[in-house]
Amino acid sequence: MSKPEPDDPLTPLDEHLFSETRPTPLSRRLPRKRLWVVGLSVTVIAVILGVVVLVAHPFAQQPAAKIATATVETGTVTTTVEAKGAITAAATSNASFSNPGTITGISVTIGQPVVVGQDLATIDSADADRALAKAQGALGAAETALDNSRESYSNTATDLANARATRDATPADSPDYSTAVAAVRELENALPLRDTDVVNAVNTRDDASRDVDAAQAERDKMVLKASIAGVVTAINGTVGSVTTGGGSSSGSAGSPGESGSGATAGSATTGPSGLITISDTSSLFVSAAIPEASIGTVAPAQSVTVTMAGDSTVTMSGSVVSIAPTPQTNAAGIVTFAASIQLTTPPATVRIGETALVSIVTASAVDVPTLPMSAVTMTGPGEGTAQLAPRKKSDTDGKIVPIKVGLSGDGVVEITHGLAVDDVVQIATPSEDGMGDGADGSSGSEGF
C-alpha cells in the first residue's frame, strides 16, 4: 500500500468528510410533482394577500362616479296645486215635505228625469182638505153677505133719490111737505150706515179669501214638487212611512261653502238628505279641498286637469269657478278651502260622487330656458348653482356657476340667469347607488 504524497493537502479521510457535507441539488432532493405543488401554493397565497391589501387599504380607490349631462333647452314650465275631491252636479235639491204626515204616494223612480214643478210624492191630506173646505165655506158666506150689503146700500140710495124728488115736488105749504122732508132726512142718515155695512162685508170677504189661500197653501204642501230640473238620484222613503217634515234644501256647485235655501230636510224615514234628491247633471263639477298653504295661488278661471281616481286613463279638462270664502277643518285638524271646478267635456262614464284628482295650473312660463331639477343645487330662494360639463376628456371637474331660477314644476325648473340655451351641465351620481344618472328629469325636489 503506497503512502500518500507528502505535498497533497488532503488526506483520504479529509476527502471523505468534504464529500459528505457538499449540498445536494433541490431537484435531486424533491420529486418534480411535489415541486410544482409548492410553486402553485406560493402563487395563490400571493394573490390572496394582494386582494386583502387592496380591499383593506384605507386609501383604496372608490368606484368612479358616472357623469351624466343635461342641456339647457327652451320649454314650458308650469306650477300646479294638487288636490282631490268628489264629482258633483251643477245643482242639487233635497226635496222633503214641510209638514209631517204619512206618505201616500211616490210618483218618480231613481234615474227618472223631472222638470220644475213636477209632482214627486204625496202625504195624507185629509186634515188639509177639511181645513180648506171650511175656509171655502166661510168665504162663500162672506161673499153672500157682501152682495146683500151692496144691494141694501143700492136700495137705500135709490130710496133717497126718490124721497128727494118727492120733497122737491111737494109745495112747502102742503100738509105732505113735512112728511117728505122727514123721509129724506131718514134715508140720508141710513145711507152711510149701509155704506159701512158694505165696507165691513168687504173686509170679511177679504179675510175669508186669505184664509182660503192659506188653507190651499197647506193643502199644496201635501204634494212634493220638483224645485229644479234634473235627474232623480235618491229616494229615501216608502209609501206608508211617516215623515216629520222640515222642508227642502238646495245648493249650487258654483257656490261652494254656501248653504242652500230653506232648512235641511229631516224625517223619521228620509234622513237629513231629504225624501227625494234631484241632481242637475247638465254640467258636472269637482268640489276639491285645497290645502291652506296653497290657497293663495288658486284663483277663478285657472285651468285644471282632472283625473279619475278609480281609472287614471280617464282625464278631462276644467276650470276653477269659485272658491269658498271660509275654510273647513276635518277631524285631523287639517284646514282646507273648497274650490268648485267645472268640467269642460266630462265623459258619460263619470258619475256623481266619484273621487277625482285635480291639478290646478297656478302659473306658467312659455319658451324659457329650462333644466331638470336634478341638475340644479339650490342655495337660497330663487338662487342656486349648476356645474358645467367638462369640455375636454382630460378635464375632471367642470366649472360651477351661480344661477337664478324662476318657476318649477313637472321635474323642470326655469333658468332666468347664469346659463343660456344649449349650455351643458353635468350631473354626477355614484354609479352603484341605485339612484340612476339623474338626467331623465327625475324628481329633483330638493331645494325647491
Q: Which of the residue ranges 10-14, 103-107, 359-363 would you say has the lowest mean pLDDT? A: 10-14
pLDDT band at 256 (very low <50, low <70, confident <90, very high): low
Per CATH, 67-76+365-430 and 125-220 having the same topology is answered no
pTM, entire model: 0.58
Pairing mode, strands 242-243 and 101-106? antiparallel
Kindly state the average pLDDT of the residues 323-333.
93
pLDDT band at 336 (very low <50, low <70, confident <90, very high): very high
pLDDT band at 9 (very low <50, low <70, confident <90, very high): very low
- CATH level 3 topology of 67-76+365-430: 2.40.420
Question: What pLDDT, on a 0 to 100 scale, did the predictor assign at position 39?
Answer: 60
* 134 has pLDDT over 50: yes
What the block records as the C-alpha cell of 285 is: 263639477
Distance between CA 300 and CA 64 in Å, rounded? 52
Question: What pLDDT, on a 0 to 100 scale, did the predictor assign at position 447?
Answer: 36
Pairing mode, strands 119-123 and 311-323? unpaired
For residues 10 and 251, the model is more confident at: 251
pLDDT band at 398 (very low <50, low <70, confident <90, very high): confident
What the block records as the C-alpha cell of 384 is: 342656486
Distance between CA 205 and CA 150 in Å, rounded? 13
* 284 has pLDDT over 70: yes
Q: Which residues pair with 372 in a beta bridge?
A: 412
Q: Where does 170-249 have alpha helices with state H?
A: 177-220
Q: In this predicted model, what pLDDT tens digit does every residue of 66-111 receive, in sequence order?
A: 678 899 999 999 999 999 999 999 999 999 999 889 999 999 999 9
Helix, strand or coil, per DSSP, at residue 43 = helix
Kindly state the average pLDDT of the residues 329-339.
93
pLDDT band at 16 (very low <50, low <70, confident <90, very high): very low
Kindly state the average pLDDT of the residues 236-262.
69
Question: What pLDDT, on a 0 to 100 scale, did the predictor assign at position 247?
Answer: 75
125-220 is classed CATH 1.10.287.620: yes
Q: For the chain, what are the domain ranges?
A: 23-61, 67-76+365-430, 125-220
